[in-house]
Structure 1
Amino acid sequence: MPLDNPTRHALPLNALRAFEASARLGGFARAAHELKLTPGAIAALVKTLERQYGAALFERHAKGVRLTPLGESIKGQFTEAFDAVEDAARTLRRLAAPQRVHIVTSPALAHLWVGPRLPQLTEMLAPIEISVTAVDEVPNLKRSPFDLCLFYTDRLERGQRALASEEVLPVCVPALAAGIRSVDDLAQVRCIAEVDWNDWEVWAREVMGAPFVARGPGFSLYASAVQQALLGAGVLIGRRSLVQRYLDSGELVAPIARAVPLGLHIAAWALPAAKGNRSVAAVEEGLAQLAKC
């Protein structure tokens, strides 16, 4: 009598991924952010997993969740397993599309640094295809579908390549600059800032020798702050690497020509799985060449 070959038990992969992310990151909310789901969806997936296996993996509390001893004991195995799956997926992507390079960077650098250089970079490196994704934070290097990182850093680490050293200075449209003759005049105008950066503070400490509070609108997207400056809405504390093309064109000017080093570098580095990839290396080298222009 012929016997059927045994088949693997169907794994609840979505639920297992929800458990692994929650265990690794320390909660359902953080796992939801990483997996692009809601905390409620993560909680439901984990609950489904617990019902299927008949054991609790998390203890629920008013302030969050905590792994049970069982959950703690298996957390590492699932993290290693999903890391291996991600690594295999990256290998598949690289072999399937060897001339496609995916850059991950911050929103500000994507809009104001990479974006303006992308047409020339694409022309230089054809037929390499280049795509760009903007994220708020440097991604988990073991879980990223990207090839090349491009972010600000205050300290260069092994494998990172500095493309530019950043400095800040006030910039505005020429009409507004006509009324600014000294640093004291800044107290009388609207001063635009990126709300998560302390660039005005760094510049004022060096140039004015005293604290300075920007009296004007703040923006969470630096590209929006630049756009407001271009519309004449106020004086922006500009990162030179991000506003230089507007200074070159004359759309913006520096009413007080005093730039202050910010202590940050724009750095590029290949993700571990992309090291040794000629296309990725070519894109990094191309960005370094265009950074000098």
Structure 2
Amino acid sequence: MPVKPPRPRLPSLNALRAFEAAARCESFVKAAEELGVTAGAVTQQIRQLEAWLGFPLFRRLAQRVELTEGARNALPKLTRGFDTLGQAVQDLRAGQDLNAGHEGRALTIAALPCIAQLWLSPRLAALQAAFPGLQISVSAMEQPPDPRREPHDLALFYLGPEARPVDALTLGPDAILPVCAPALARTLTSVNDLARATLLHDAVWRDDWRRWLAFTGCIGTIDPARGPSFSLYSLALDAALSGSGVLMGRMSLIAPHLRDGRLAAPFMDAMPTGDALTLVLNSQASAHASRREIARSLLDHVAFGRLGPNAKNVIDPKS
């Protein structure tokens, strides 16, 4: 009878994962962030893999690493292999969830940190009231997740037209404009008054002040880089609410504060960003069975509303 040949001996799966992530990201540091380990751990795993293979996979340069030709050729197959393995695990989980009726299975939502804190969090109570027994897990992420490696049932991010999947739901276009505490707003009668005000910045959207000043034609009269920067938009918003300065506000995030009077928009020029608050649904078989109902509920309950008496002729993000 035929004898099936043994499978070839493989190196450590963790070492292969570390190599695949570092090669794909072209950075040990970025690979470590993706895998949730330290850069030193990634370096050690790759060294072990290189020792097992008997040759280097990276050229160590002064400020970066560079793949060898052999490693570059092997990367696509390794990436497909890990994607296939991840999909198999998701399918296995999906089969168990189907047998159990999704009982105990949390619906997972990935969102930009500021969206998770300022847009999604205030709506969670209404969602859970509409779907009794539903467990919701929220992960704050700086970039939309790759469904092959970081499967989530729903993802909430700002996306431009070219980046939106065809089946994504647009919850509303976004616009930016300066906002601040009402007492401070009363001292700002023209855009030129911003030259003596403290400008507040979000680190990710640091360029928003320059973009808005160019939009209003005042880019040459006011330094758009002046003022403190915050790593979280919510921290910059707290500074604005306390009267510490003027924030370049994202309408989809700060509209409730304009409506209730905690913030004021001293100028009428809101600049459309071209981005939209977008809800992306996981289309894989392993996704939560209720994800479309949840997405529709979020869409139906979007209500940015009018901005109230503290905004002057500002664009309504819902319109």
TM norm structure 2: 0.81
The reply on whether 1:268 has 2:279 as its aligned counterpart is yes
Q: How far has the Cα of 1:159 moved from its partner?
A: 2.0
Q: Distance in 2 between matches of 1:109 and 1:120?
A: 17
Q: Distance in 1 between matches of 2:140 and 2:201?
A: 20
Task: Label 1:22 to 1:260 Cα distance change in 2 as closer, same or farther (>3 A).
Answer: closer
2:117 paired residue number: 111
Contact preservation (8 Å) 1:147, 1:274: no
Q: Which moved more, 1:10-19 or 1:268-277?
A: 268-277
The reply on whether 1:200 has 2:209 as its aligned counterpart is yes
Task: Label 1:27 to 1:229 Cα distance change in 2 as closer, same or farther (>3 A).
Answer: closer
Normalized per residue, the structure richer in helix is: 1
Task: Label 1:13 to 1:207 Cα distance change in 2 as closer, same or farther (>3 A).
Answer: same
CA displacement 1:136-178 (0-9 Å, x = unmatched):
1122332113121111112134122210110122211121122
Task: Label 1:228 to 1:15 Cα distance change in 2 as closer, same or farther (>3 A).
Answer: same
Contact preservation (8 Å) 1:168, 1:262: yes
Task: Label 1:178 to 1:73 Cα distance change in 2 as closer, same or farther (>3 A).
Answer: closer
Q: How far has the Cα of 1:73 moved from its partner?
A: 4.0
Q: How far has the Cα of 1:53 moved from its partner?
A: 3.8
TM norm structure 1: 0.87
Name structure 2 gaps, 5 residues minimum. 1-5, 305-319
Task: Pick one of 161, 167, 190 that aligns with 2:198.
Answer: 190
Q: Which moved more, 1:42-51 or 1:272-281?
A: 272-281
1:258 paired residue number: 269
Q: Distance in 1 between matches of 2:287 and 2:45?
A: 38
State the SS of the aligned residue for 1:257.
Answer: coil
Q: What is the one-letter code of the residue matched to 1:30? A: K
Q: How far has the Cα of 1:287 moved from its partner?
A: 1.5
Q: Distance in 2 between matches of 1:56 and 1:208?
A: 54
CA displacement 1:19-60 (0-9 Å, x = unmatched):
222232224233222112222211211221232343443344
Task: Pick one of 172, 193, 216 that aligns with 2:227.
Answer: 216
After TM superposition, the structure 1 = structure 2 runs for residues 71-82 of structure 1, keeping only pairs within 5 Å, are 71-82=71-82
Task: Label 1:61 to 1:206 Cα distance change in 2 as closer, same or farther (>3 A).
Answer: closer
Q: What is the one-letter code of the residue matched to 2:54? A: G
Q: Which moved more, 1:198-207 or 1:221-230?
A: 198-207
CA displacement 1:70-95 (0-9 Å, x = unmatched):
43343233212211121122234444
1:137 paired residue number: 143
Q: Distance in 2 between matches of 1:21 and 1:245?
A: 40
Q: Which moved more, 1:39-48 or 1:55-64?
A: 55-64
Q: What is the one-letter code of the residue matched to 1:116? A: P
Q: Distance in 2 between matches of 1:258 and 1:30?
A: 39
1:51 paired residue number: 51
Contact preservation (8 Å) 1:128, 1:279: no
- Moved runs in structure 1, 4+ residues, more than 6 A? none
Task: Pick one of 261, 283, 286 that aligns with 2:297.
Answer: 286
Q: Distance in 2 between matches of 1:65 and 1:228?
A: 40
Q: Which moved more, 1:268-277 or 1:256-265?
A: 268-277
State the SS of the aligned residue for 1:253.
Answer: coil
CA displacement 1:157-209 (0-9 Å, x = unmatched):
41222101101222111211221222222222212121332222232223345
2:308 paired residue number: none
1:3 paired residue number: none
State the SS of the aligned residue for 1:179.
Answer: coil
Contact preservation (8 Å) 1:199, 1:262: no
Task: Pick one of 171, 175, 182 that aligns with 2:183.
Answer: 175
Q: Distance in 2 between matches of 1:8 and 1:126?
A: 50
Q: What is the one-letter code of the residue matched to 1:195? A: A
State the SS of the aligned residue for 1:252.
Answer: coil
Contact preservation (8 Å) 1:202, 1:262: no
Contact preservation (8 Å) 2:11, 2:49: no
Q: Distance in 2 between matches of 1:260 and 1:68?
A: 46
Q: How far has the Cα of 1:112 moved from its partner?
A: 0.9
Name structure 1 gaps, 5 residues minimum. 1-5
Identity of aligned residues (%): 36
State the SS of the aligned residue for 1:104.
Answer: strand
Q: Distance in 1 between matches of 2:108 and 2:287?
A: 15
Contact preservation (8 Å) 2:151, 2:282: no
Q: What is the one-letter code of the residue matched to 1:82? A: F
Task: Label 1:159 to 1:208 Cα distance change in 2 as closer, same or farther (>3 A).
Answer: same
Matched length: 288
Contact preservation (8 Å) 1:108, 1:222: yes
Task: Label 1:167 to 1:72 Cα distance change in 2 as closer, same or farther (>3 A).
Answer: closer
